[in-house]
Structure formats: structure tokens, C-alpha cells
């Protein structure tokens, strides 16, 4: 009889005594992993006549896909919008530290900055797989500078830009390169934004609508040209109005092209969005909700003064303000906290809460065949969680990269 080495010499690990999030349900079955991928046990048994080399007892934990944060500005004293010579060590630190929050992949986010900052920082961001060194990098999220002055939020007004005659060339000149860029947030009411959205989408870059005074028809036009995301719904956009619901109206619009889904980010930190607004959005369009932290350099640090790009930010508890104002500026919430708050605020199932931080961001980025699920052949990036959704251990490519110490459990 052929052994389990007939296909590969790599060890097979079987995670037992667990509930796996698969096909939108927690299922009591084992998880099988080899060479960083999730195995189909039936194929293993019947085709390879294989068996496990290592068995791990999960002690009735939940196993869920790793979280994917598509909007994170920094953390632990590191600000992705500050041009430094040791930028790489900063991004390495953040990617290491967020493993304890259950984040296995992320999009480092730059707020509105001068062109010189983009030119210095973007070449230092490289798309890479996660591992013991930290969460994987999926590409940069550039939030601005092509946004509305009226809804600039924490973005510095003197750095804002509009699209001139050569709109897409303006954008290229501003950023310097799009090689590692995954998401661009812009205001769709800007002149020539449609052609920019079209060009970005053609290059496989996700376009997000935000920091905007767009009405609903301008937002719908942007979606028809390829936009698929809304940056932190309700924040930095016109408030919902019954005669023109603005960008918020995309959640129930009948003008979305067939076969397309609009996703929207929510900062579920208990500060940026009232629980009632979170419930309204979730009930209106549950399959589009993507949890984001919008975390800034002060995440993981004591209250006080920190930076967000060109601005000074004051942290007071969970509130973060542009210094001397009451303008909110990012959050200091961690992704696992956002997942727990979302579940508590909406009363949704554990499965739905976990998918908002894993499956939905993967679908937004078009990587759901690899990440965001525990389907067979997908990347073995997953978490062990308690019933109340506290992260007990984080795995990337089937390897344990972080574990809550015994005293802390």
C-alpha cells in the first residue's frame, strides 16, 4: 500500500477536536494541512492512502480564516505615511505585532501626503507572504490625495490634489509608481475621476470611494466605471439623506452592474460608528461589510501625542483626534476587538462576524481562492479562537506564528 509520502514528503498535520468555519458554518470536523495548504481528507485517504504525521488537539477551539486588514495606517509607533530610511524595519514591526490580533494579511495604508513621501515610501513596500516574521503584505492602500476638501477629515488640506487635463498621468506622477498598489481611495465627484477609475481598475487596482461629497448618481457612475469599495462607510462623506442618500445609497442601489458587489469598510471600534448605524448598514447589505481597523501609529501605545502622516494626533482613551480639534483621525482599535464589537453590536452570528474580517476582504481583493476561507487547496492561514472570539493562536501557511501564553488564556 502506498504511504502518505506518495505525493509529497512534507508532513501532514491534523488539527482535531475543533469547529471549523467552512461554507458559512462552524462545522465539527478536523483540519488537515500540508505544505502550507489545506488538504481534502477524502483525497488523502482514498487516492493517496495517506494519514497524519502529527495530530494537534485544539481543545474545542474555533478555527477560522486569518483576518485581512485592508486599511491600517500603522501601529506601535510606526506611521506608514512618514518617509524614513528605515521604513522596512517599521513595517516589519507592525506585521509582527498584528499577528496577536489575528491579522495574517494586510494593506499598509498611506493617508494624503506630498508626492515626495509616496516616491520614497512606495518603493519600500513589497508584496510578500506572511510567516513567522509577520503578516503578509497584499499591497498598499493609498487613501488620497485625490479627495474632497470638505470631507478631508484628518488629511492635510495643503496636500490635497485634483485631476487636471491628463488625469491618470497626474495620479502616476503623484504616486511615482503603482507596482505595489492594491487600493486607491478617491472622491468620485472630482472631474475626470471616471477615466482614472477605469484606468486603475484595468490594472487590477481596487478603487474605493471616500472622503467625498458625492451624491448617489455620482457614486453609481463610479461603480459603473469599476469602483468596488467604500472607505469607512458614514465617516468623511455626506450623511444619509432620504432624497439623496449619497455614497451610503450604494448599499441598496439598483444601478450596480449585474454580477458585481459593492463592498464597504466599517471601523467597528465603538467610536467611529454608532452601533445603530452599524446595524443599519449590516442589515441593508450584509455580504458587503468589511471590517477595517483604520489603525494609526498610536495603536498599542499609551495615550498622548502621536502622528498620522503630516498631522499630530492626540489619543484619549479610544478616541483619536487631530491635535487641538475634535476631528477623528483613525483608530487605535485592534482587528480582534473590532470583530467582537461588531458581533455584540449587531447580534450577528459568530460565523458572520468572522467572515466580515476574512472572507469579505478576500472577495474584495479577488483573492478568495487563496485566502479568507478554509476551503481545500487554499492557504493555511487560520486562527484558533475561544467561543467569545479571543485569539488563542495564529497560523500562517500551517505554521504557528503566535500563541497566547498559558497565563494569559
Locate the DSSP E strands across 92-248.
103-111, 136-137, 140-143, 181-186, 206-209, 229-230
Q: Are 98 and 391 within 8 A, CB to CB?
A: no
Helix (H) or strand (E) holding 41: helix 41-46
Mean pLDDT value across residues 82-87: 90
Mean pLDDT value across residues 42-68: 94
Strand partners, 314: 305, 321
47 is in an annotated binding site: no
Strand partners, 33: 13, 38
Strand partners, 307: 312
C-alpha torsion sign, points 325, 328, 329, 331: positive
Name the pairing type of β-strands 25-27 and 13-22. antiparallel
* Helix axis angle, 167-175 to 193-202, nearest 10°: 60
282 is in an annotated binding site: no
Q: Cis peptide leading into 54, omega within 30 of 0?
A: no
Q: How far apart are CA 376 and CA 53, in angstroms?
A: 19
Active site (annotated) includes residue 294:
yes
Q: Are 65 and 381 within 8 A, CB to CB?
A: yes
Q: Are 392 and 59 within 8 A, CB to CB?
A: no
Q: How far apart are CA 148 and CA 327, in angstroms?
A: 15
Q: How far apart are CA 259 and CA 242, in angstroms?
A: 27
143 is in an annotated binding site: yes
Q: Are 402 and 393 within 8 A, CB to CB?
A: yes
Angle at 376 between CA 372 and CA 381, to 5 degrees: 40
Mean pLDDT value across residues 166-187: 97
Strand partners, 25: 22
Q: How far apart are CA 256 and CA 249, in angstroms?
A: 11
329 is in an annotated binding site: yes
Confidence of residue 4 (pLDDT cuts 50, 70, 90): very low
Asked if residue 407 has pLDDT above 60, the reply is no
Mean pLDDT, rounded, of the chain = 95
Length, in residues, of the chain: 409
Q: How far apart are CA 289 and CA 240, in angstroms?
A: 17
403 is in an annotated binding site: no
243 is in an annotated binding site: yes
Mean pLDDT value across residues 188-196: 97
pTM passes above 0.85:
yes
pLDDT in tens, 151-173: 999 999 999 999 988 999 999 99
Computed on alpha carbons and rounded to an integer, the radius of gyration of the chain in Å comes to: 21
Determine the pLDDT at residue 143. Answer: 98
pLDDT in tens, 116-162: 999 999 999 999 999 999 999 999 999 999 999 999 999 999 999 99
Residue linked to cell 498621468: 169
272 is in an annotated binding site: yes
Q: Return the CATH superfamily for domain 66-365.
A: Metal-dependent hydrolases (3.20.20.140)
Q: Are 335 and 102 within 8 A, CB to CB?
A: yes
Mean pLDDT value across residues 385-407: 92
Asked if residue 236 has pLDDT above 50, the reply is yes
pLDDT in tens, 284-296: 999 999 999 999 9
187 is in an annotated binding site: no
Determine the pLDDT at residue 216. Answer: 98
Confidence of residue 83 (pLDDT cuts 50, 70, 90): very high
Confidence of residue 59 (pLDDT cuts 50, 70, 90): very high
211 is in an annotated binding site: yes
CATH of domain 13-64+373-403: 2.30.40.10
Backbone angles phi, psi at 209, to 5 degrees: -100, 130
Active-site residue among 79, 294, 379, 381?
294
Range(s) of the chain covered by CATH 3.20.20.140: 66-365
pLDDT in tens, 8-44: 789 999 999 999 999 999 999 999 999 999 999 999 8
Confidence of residue 6 (pLDDT cuts 50, 70, 90): low
Amino acid at each position: 500500500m502506498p504511504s502518505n509520502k506518495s505525493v509529497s514528503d512534507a508532513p501532514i498535520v491534523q488539527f482535531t477536536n475543533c469547529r471549523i468555519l467552512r461554507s458559512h458554518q462552524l462545522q465539527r470536523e478536523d483540519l488537515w494541512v500540508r505544505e502550507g495548504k489545506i488538504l481534502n481528507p477524502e483525497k488523502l485517504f482514498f487516492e493517496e492512502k495517506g494519514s497524519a504525521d502529527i495530530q494537534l488537539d485544539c481543545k474545542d477551539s474555533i478555527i477560522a480564516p486569518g483576518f485581512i486588514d485592508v486599511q491600517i495606517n500603522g501601529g506601535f509607533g510606526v506611521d506608514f505615511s512618514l518617509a524614513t530610511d528605515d521604513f522596512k524595519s517599521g513595517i516589519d514591526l507592525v506585521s509582527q505585532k498584528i499577528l496577536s490580533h489575528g491579522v495574517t494579511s494586510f494593506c499598509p495604508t498611506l493617508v494624503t501626503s506630498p508626492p515626495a513621501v509616496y516616491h520614497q515610501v512606495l518603493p519600500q513596500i513589497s508584496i510578500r507572504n506572511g510567516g513567522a516574521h509577520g503578516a503578509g503584505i497584499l499591497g498598499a492602500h493609498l487613501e488620497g490625495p485625490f479627495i474632497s476638501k470638505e470631507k478631508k477629515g484628518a488629511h492635510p488640506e495643503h496636500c490635497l490634489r485634483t485631476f487636471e487635463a491628463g488625469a491618470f498621468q497626474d495620479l502616476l506622477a503623484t504616486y511615482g509608481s503603482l507596482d505595489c498598489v492594491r487600493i486607491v481611495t478617491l472622491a468620485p465627484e472630482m472631474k475626470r475621476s471616471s477615466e482614472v477609475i477605469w484606468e486603475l481598475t484595468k490594472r487590477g487596482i481596487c478603487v474605493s470611494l471616500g472622503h467625498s461629497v458625492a451624491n448617489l448618481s455620482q457614486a453609481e457612475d463610479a461603480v459603473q466605471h469599476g469602483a468596488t469599495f467604500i472607505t469607512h462607510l458614514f465617516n468623511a462623506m455626506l450623511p444619509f439623506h432620504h432624497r439623496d442618500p449619497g455614497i451610503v445609497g450604494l448599499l441598496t442601489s439598483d444601478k450596480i452592474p449585474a454580477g458585481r458587489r459593492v463592498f464597504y469598510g466599517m471601523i467597528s471600534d465603538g467610536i467611529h460608528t454608532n452601533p445603530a448605524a452599524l446595524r443599519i448598514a449590516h442589515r441593508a447589505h450584509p455580504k458587503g461589510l468589511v471590517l477595517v481597523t483604520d489603525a494609526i501609529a498610536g495603536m498599542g501605545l499609551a495615550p498622548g501625542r502621536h502622528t498620522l502622516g503630516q498631522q499630530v494626533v492626540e489619543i484619549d482613551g479610544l478616541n483619536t483626534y487631530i491635535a487641538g480639534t475634535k476631528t477623528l483621525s483613525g483608530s487605535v482599535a485592534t482587528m480582534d476587538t473590532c470583530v467582537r464589537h461588531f458581533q455584540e453590536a449587531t447580534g450577528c452570528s459568530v460565523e458572520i462576524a468572522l467572515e466580515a474580517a476574512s472572507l469579505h476582504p478576500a472577495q474584495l481583493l479577488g483573492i478568495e481562492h487563496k485566502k479568507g476561507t478554509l476551503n481545500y487547496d487554499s492557504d493555511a492561514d487560520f486562527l484558533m479562537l475561544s467561543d467569545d472570539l479571543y485569539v488563542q493562536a495564529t497560523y500562517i501557511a500551517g505554521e504557528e506564528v503566535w500563541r497566547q501564553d498559558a497565563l494569559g488564556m
